[in-house]
Structure 1
Amino acid sequence: MAGVAWHYVLKFIITGDAAVGKSSLLIRLTDQRFLNNPDPTLGVEFGSKLITIPEENKVVKLQCWDTAGTESFRSITRSYYRGAAGCLLVYDVTSRQSFLNARTWLADVREHADPHLTCILVGNKIDLCSDDGQPGRRPREVPTEEGERWAKEEGLLFVEASAKSGENVEAAFVQATRDILNKIKRGMFDNDRSPGVKLSQPSSDTLNLEDDRTRTRCCW
């Protein structure tokens, strides 16, 4: 890591129903691995990752907060929405109810987060409905076209992904990051007013202590 610097630190939140794979997406991003049965998130979990946006010549550190998807933690997780620059709104493509509930989660984010926040709708678990003859497959309940259409209506970015295979996981964060950087160039985010966006150029001493893949469990 010595000699490497990041230009921005961006705060992301990951939200959606319980069991849609939010924690698995974070683990895939930060650790490049998949857990078959991750423990339910209690409150929030944290992970960070350095990504490069070549066309912008920028290195960006993502600070990602994975929020619990149960109602009992709703008041806690809402506090993490404040100041976020990006949001992954996640549903399970094999669960229509999780897609319908995404509307409530989106309303919550828009009520409590920065009005300029970039939100990307992520249809997770596409591996479960792939036709590869493997056991454990489920029927798809949310067509790709329906997810795309709703995302467009709400002004969201959109991607389908698989935390298990890794397909489109980092791409979802990169797509959202590009949109945030574009907003920064247009003056929509300001360092003094937008805590989810920080301009940062740490020293080499600091970098020697940093890791681009960290996860911390925060429980209440």
Structure 2
Amino acid sequence: MVKLAAKCILAGDPTVGKTALAQLFRSDGVHFQNYTLTAGVDLVVKTVPVPDTGDSVELFIFDSAGKELFSEMLDKLWESPNVLCLVYDVTNEQSFNSCGKWLEKVRAQAPGTTLPGVLVGNKTDLAGRRAVDSAQAQAWALGQGLECFETSVKEMESYEAPFHCLAKQFHQLYRERVDAFHTLV
């Protein structure tokens, strides 16, 4: 049984639901938090079991403000990430369009490494106001090497899936590195 630790960067524009997603995940669906502006960075820590392994990954989720105002501070806090959770609002096309900028910013903190990640479209409960097509998001995510999810934090739908995916991706990278090491010995 192995317990790994992974630094997860939660990135996206303001008001897309990053904090609510992280808080709901940490509380196992018990605590839905209405929107409050994150000033700087909040840290959420949760251990995620990796299915069929007996292993687990402790995710250190850095929930950061989506405002450029905090940009310099983010550069320091975002150093050496292991996984990325990129969030946009399905009712806000600009928040989806900004994902490329956020992805570039996070990947710049881990040059030359594989950075597993997920793209999460939040607020699916607002179906009548949807501005970003699921297929469009899926295609973009695939092109960036990201897994794609949609969720409604408000309705508590699919909020765990992105983080379980991240834990599994990180664990898989770990296993590949261990196997590569064993072939050298």
- When the two structures are superposed, what TM-score results if normalisation uses the length of structure 1? 0.75
- For the 8 Å contact 2:57–2:171, the answer to whether it is kept is no
- Partner residue, 1:36: 34
- Partner residue, 1:125: 123
Question: What amino acid does structure 2 have at the position aligned with 1:24?
Answer: A
- For residues 93-133 of structure 1, give each alpha carbon's deviation from its aligned partner in whole angstroms, at most 9, with x where no partner exists: 0000000011111111111135222111111111121xxxx
Higher relative helix content: 2
- Partner residue, 2:161: 171
CA-CA distance at 1:166 after TM superposition: 2.2
- Partner residue, 2:6: 10
RMSD of Structure 2 on Structure 1 (CA) = 1.8
Question: 2 CA distance for matches of 1:90 and 1:113?
Answer: 19
Unaligned runs of 5+ in 2: 179-185
- For residues 49-104 of structure 1, give each alpha carbon's deviation from its aligned partner in whole angstroms, at most 9, with x where no partner exists: 12211212112211111011001001111222212111100000000000001111
Question: 2 CA distance for matches of 1:168 and 1:158?
Answer: 12
Unaligned runs of 5+ in 1: 130-137, 189-220
Question: What amino acid does structure 1 have at the position aligned with 2:170?
Answer: I
Greater relative contact order (Cα 8 A, min sep 6): structure 1 or 2? 1
- For residues 122-162 of structure 1, give each alpha carbon's deviation from its aligned partner in whole angstroms, at most 9, with x where no partner exists: 11111121xxxxxxxx4100010000000011111111111
* 1:113 partner SS: coil
Aligned length: 176
Query: Which of residues 112, 132, 137 in structure 2 aligns to 1:142?
Result: 132
Question: What amino acid does structure 2 have at the position aligned with 1:20?
Answer: V
Question: 1 CA distance for matches of 2:50 and 2:32?
Answer: 25
Q: Which has the larger radius of gyration?
A: 1
- When the two structures are superposed, what TM-score results if normalisation uses the length of structure 2? 0.89
* 2:108 partner SS: helix
* 2:160 partner SS: helix
* 1:55 partner SS: coil
- For the 8 Å contact 1:44–1:67, the answer to whether it is kept is yes
Question: 2 CA distance for matches of 1:119 and 1:54?
Answer: 18
Question: 1 CA distance for matches of 2:18 and 2:140?
Answer: 20
Decide whether aligned partners of structure 1 residues 6 and 45 sit closer, same or farther in structure 2, where only a CA change above 3 A counts.
Answer: farther
Question: 1 CA distance for matches of 2:63 and 2:157?
Answer: 19
Question: 1 CA distance for matches of 2:48 and 2:166?
Answer: 12
